[in-house]
């Protein structure tokens, strides 16, 4: 059979149900195979949209996402989603066309050295050099993408090789001698960690996106509830621990709650699980959690002691390690009363510093109120994607996520334009749940073209634009740190999002009245098909509280 038909067989053997992509010259053979391969292919309007959709699909379902693009610009358009998937550990296989082998290195039409360009931003990549390699490369790509610390894998296939006639034999194994992720945590280390936890008087559990990736939310909950351990999550970890909950402190970091950040600051022992001590978490590194010892559980050994030295490192899968840690901890019969004083302190912060904003205006909508209205209108039960900026932080603060894989955003790379295509991918992967994209008026324009894809394919995403007419986060920083010199952040009143939605075949609405916002949103979300809601909010609201750049957690402002 043709190598491209073998490619389809390999995809089916991996259980692929849907892919996102856009054809071009170098992958014409692949698209001919798609014609009757029996795999659902969603034609996107821009390869970046396809890449982010594959990410959204992967994050919502836990399965490997797949995105296709042609050579040259089709491939380079995938670079942002690849980098995004690398930073947030998203399992996606990217399959790009490449020019014919005889043209490689000659600056041929639509030639780009995709392998070279993506080297620093892939978990691994394959440049196909012989058609017989294709099925194995696909299987190994899926294996690498989904196991260990998940991530993006690129498979680049020259056009002529994809047309070769090859025998297809199912591939039952992978041959990757240099790749053996450590899944089982070391028992001695786990026991040591349990003892340290039993002796801690001011412990905090700090959980990240790794808990979601490892499907370890149940284990995290069971561990936290084996005593009264306070829990905070990173932006990527939201939903890993159910919110609200009496042991839930809220998100930590630059725009986290004071309670979570103060608890980290005063903790004597921090259990980090699937989190990587990003600079948006630690603030000033030298003053981060100065009294704490650290237990660090991560499947990627390179994360341990990268930014903050771990006293008890545990390399392993969070699900495996947390389950065993709970068993070990229970066996110790720790004195539960020892945490009384700590909880008194934490509850004091909670009472004194809840998340708050000034909401005394008449009908004007505060952005935080808009997020709360989305929460109300969806019953807190939706999958929520976001773009990047102020609206993302408000969504993280004011929408409580009761379960994992409900909150899908671009944390590490901070990719504007992520939200709409990610929502599309999530809605394809989880068709029976409402999918809302909370977008900014700046971000949404970076991939709004995928609304056409949604309309054409009946993908009913609900896009709620928190519209302040600004690149709001940049404006906030210019206000706070650059003497209010608002340099190139005013977006004006463009485009008309209602008309834009209608042009794309979606329903468009503009909401400006706070008093009816919840019911208006409820009606919008109940509307069939893709919907775009332009919510006009107060223009110069800031995201608070905030750890100012280079400051310590205890010096939060706002």
Q: Closest separation between CB of residue 170 and another protein, Å?
A: 22
Q: Which stretch binds another protein (CB under 8 A): 288-296, 446-454, 523-531, 547-555?
A: 547-555
Cross-strand partners of 490: 470
Nearer to another protein, 168 or 470 (CB): 470
In 3D space, the residue among 341, 298, 325 whose CA is nearest the CA of residue 196 turns out to be 325
Distance (Å, rounded) from C-alpha 43 to C-alpha 40? 10
176 makes contact with another protein (CB under 8 A): yes
Angle of the 47-61 helix axis to the 419-429 helix axis, nearest 10:
50
Site for another protein in 457-486 (CB under 8 A): 477, 481-483
Residue 138: partners with Cβ closer than 8 Å, 6 or more residues away: 7, 10, 11, 14, 93, 95, 155
Q: Closest separation between CB of residue 178 and another protein, Å?
A: 5
Q: Closest separation between CB of residue 413 and another protein, Å?
A: 15
Rg (C-alpha) for the chain, rounded Å, is 24
Q: Which of 402, 458, 505, 550 binds another protein (CB under 8 A)?
A: 550
Q: Which of 119, 285, 331, 557 binds another protein (CB under 8 A)?
A: 119
Strands 152-158, 203-207: pairing is unpaired
Angle of the 419-429 helix axis to the 450-457 helix axis, nearest 10:
20
- CA angle, residues 341, 345, 348, in degrees to nearest 5: 135
- The alpha carbon torsion through 260, 263, 264, 270 (nearest 10 deg) reads -110
Q: Closest separation between CB of residue 243 and another protein, Å?
A: 29
302 makes contact with another protein (CB under 8 A): yes
Torsions phi, psi for 55 (to 5 deg): -65, -45
Residue 5: partners with Cβ closer than 8 Å, 6 or more residues away: 33, 37, 168
Distance (Å, rounded) from C-alpha 501 to C-alpha 464? 12
Nearer to another protein, 343 or 477 (CB): 477
C-alpha separations of 292 from 148, 196, 206, 308, 517 in Å: 28, 12, 12, 11, 44
115 makes contact with another protein (CB under 8 A): yes
Q: Closest separation between CB of residue 33 and another protein, Å?
A: 26
Structure tokens at 474: 């940049």
C-alpha separations of 301 from 182, 191, 305, 325, 503 in Å: 9, 19, 9, 18, 49
Nearer to another protein, 481 or 494 (CB): 481
Nearer to another protein, 192 or 474 (CB): 474
Q: Closest separation between CB of residue 306 and another protein, Å?
A: 6
- The alpha carbon torsion through 546, 551, 553, 554 (nearest 10 deg) reads -100
The residue assigned the tokens 């991530």 is 151
505 makes contact with another protein (CB under 8 A): no
Nearer to another protein, 449 or 551 (CB): 551
Distance (Å, rounded) from C-alpha 458 to C-alpha 294? 48
Q: Which stretch binds another protein (CB under 8 A): 66-74, 112-120, 226-234, 510-518?
A: 112-120
Q: What's the distance, CA 438 to chain centroid?
A: 14
300 makes contact with another protein (CB under 8 A): yes
Q: Closest separation between CB of residue 350 and another protein, Å?
A: 29
549 makes contact with another protein (CB under 8 A): yes
Query: In this structure, what DSSP letter does residue 101 have?
Result: G
139 makes contact with another protein (CB under 8 A): no
Nearer to another protein, 116 or 290 (CB): 116
Q: Which of 62, 108, 301, 545 binds another protein (CB under 8 A)?
A: 301
Q: Closest separation between CB of residue 558 and another protein, Å?
A: 16
Omega before residue 221 within 30° of 0, cis: no
Q: Closest separation between CB of residue 63 and another protein, Å?
A: 21
144 makes contact with another protein (CB under 8 A): yes
546 makes contact with another protein (CB under 8 A): no
Nearer to another protein, 180 or 344 (CB): 180
Q: Closest separation between CB of residue 41 and another protein, Å?
A: 28
Site for another protein in 71-90 (CB under 8 A): none
Nearer to another protein, 30 or 118 (CB): 118
Nearer to another protein, 45 or 123 (CB): 123
Nearer to another protein, 228 or 306 (CB): 306
Q: Which of 15, 35, 38, 120 binds another protein (CB under 8 A)?
A: 120
Distance (Å, rounded) from C-alpha 320 to C-alpha 276? 19
Terminal alpha carbon distance of the chain = 65
Site for another protein in 177-196 (CB under 8 A): 177-179
Nearer to another protein, 495 or 545 (CB): 545
The residue assigned the tokens 């294996």 is 143
Burial of residue 493 (number of CB atoms within 10 Å: 0-12, 13-18, 19+): exposed
Nearer to another protein, 43 or 127 (CB): 127
Which residues would be at the binding site for another protein (CB under 8 A)? Answer: 115-116, 119-120, 123-124, 127, 129, 144, 176-179, 300-302, 305-306, 477, 481-483, 548-551
């Amino acid at each position: 059979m043709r190598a491209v038909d073998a490619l389809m067989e390999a995809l089916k053997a991996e259980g692929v149900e849907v892919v996102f992509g856009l054809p071009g010259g170098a992958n014409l053979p692949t698209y001919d195979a798609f014609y009757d391969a029996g795999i659902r292919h969603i034609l996107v309007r821009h390869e970046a949209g396809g890449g982010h959709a594959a990410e959204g699909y992967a994050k919502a379902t836990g399965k490997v996402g797949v995105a296709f693009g042609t050579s040259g610009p089709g491939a380079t358009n995938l670079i942002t989603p690849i980098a995004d998937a690398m930073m947030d550990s998203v399992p996606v296989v990217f399959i790009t066309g490449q020019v014919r082998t005889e043209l490689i290195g000659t600056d041929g039409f639509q030639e780009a050295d995709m392998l070279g360009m993506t080297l620093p931003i892939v978990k691994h990549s394959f440049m196909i050099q012989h058609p017989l390699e294709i099925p194995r490369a696909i299987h190994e790509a899926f294996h690498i993408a989904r196991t260990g610390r998940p991530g993006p894998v690129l498979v680049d296939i020259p056009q002529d090789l994809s047309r070769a006639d090859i025998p297809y034999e199912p591939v039952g194994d992978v041959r990757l001698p240099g790749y053996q992720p450590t899944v089982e945590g070391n028992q001695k280390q786990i026991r040591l960690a349990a003892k340290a936890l039993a002796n801690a008087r001011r412990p905090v559990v700090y959980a990240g996106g790794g808990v979601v990736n490892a499907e370890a939310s149940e284990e995290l909950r069971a561990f936290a509830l084996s005593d009264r351990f306070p829990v905070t999550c990173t932006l990527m970890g939201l939903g890993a621990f159910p919110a609200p909950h009496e042991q839930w402190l809220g998100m930590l970091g630059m725009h986290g709650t004071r309670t979570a950040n103060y608890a980290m600051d005063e903790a004597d022992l921090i259990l980090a699980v699937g989190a990587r001590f990003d600079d948006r978490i630690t603030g000033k590194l030298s003053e981060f959690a100065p009294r704490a010892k650290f237990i660090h559980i991560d499947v990627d050994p390179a994360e341990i002691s990268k930014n903050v030295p771990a006293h008890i490192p545990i390399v392993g899968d969070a699900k495996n390690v947390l389950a065993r840690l709970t068993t070990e901890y229970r066996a110790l019969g720790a004195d539960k009363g020892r945490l009384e004083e700590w909880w008194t302190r934490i509850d004091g912060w909670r009472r004194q510093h809840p998340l708050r904003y000034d909401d005394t205006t008449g009908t004007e909508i505060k952005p935080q109120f808009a997020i709360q209205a989305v929460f109300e209108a969806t019953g807190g039960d939706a999958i929520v994607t976001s773009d990047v900026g102020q609206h993302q932080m408000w969504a993280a603060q004011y929408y409580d996520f009761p379960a994992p894989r409900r909150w899908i955003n671009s944390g590490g790379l901070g990719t504007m334009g992520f939200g709409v295509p990610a929502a599309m991918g999530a809605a394809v992967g989880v068709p029976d749940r409402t999918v809302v994209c909370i977008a900014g008026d700046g971000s949404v324009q970076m991939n709004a073209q995928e609304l056409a894809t949604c309309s054409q394919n009946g993908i009913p995403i609900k896009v709620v634009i928190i519209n302040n007419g600004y690149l709001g986060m940049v404006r906030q920083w210019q206000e706070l740190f650059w003497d209010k010199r608002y340099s190139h952040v005013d977006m004006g009143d463009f485009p008309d999002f209602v008309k834009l939605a209608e042009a794309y075949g979606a329903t468009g609405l503009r909401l400006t009245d706070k008093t009816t916002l919840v019911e208006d949103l409820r009606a919008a979300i109940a509307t069939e098909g893709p919907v775009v809601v332009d919510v006009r909010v107060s223009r110069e609201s800031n995201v608070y509280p905030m750890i100012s750049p280079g400051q310590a957690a205890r010096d939060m402002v706002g």
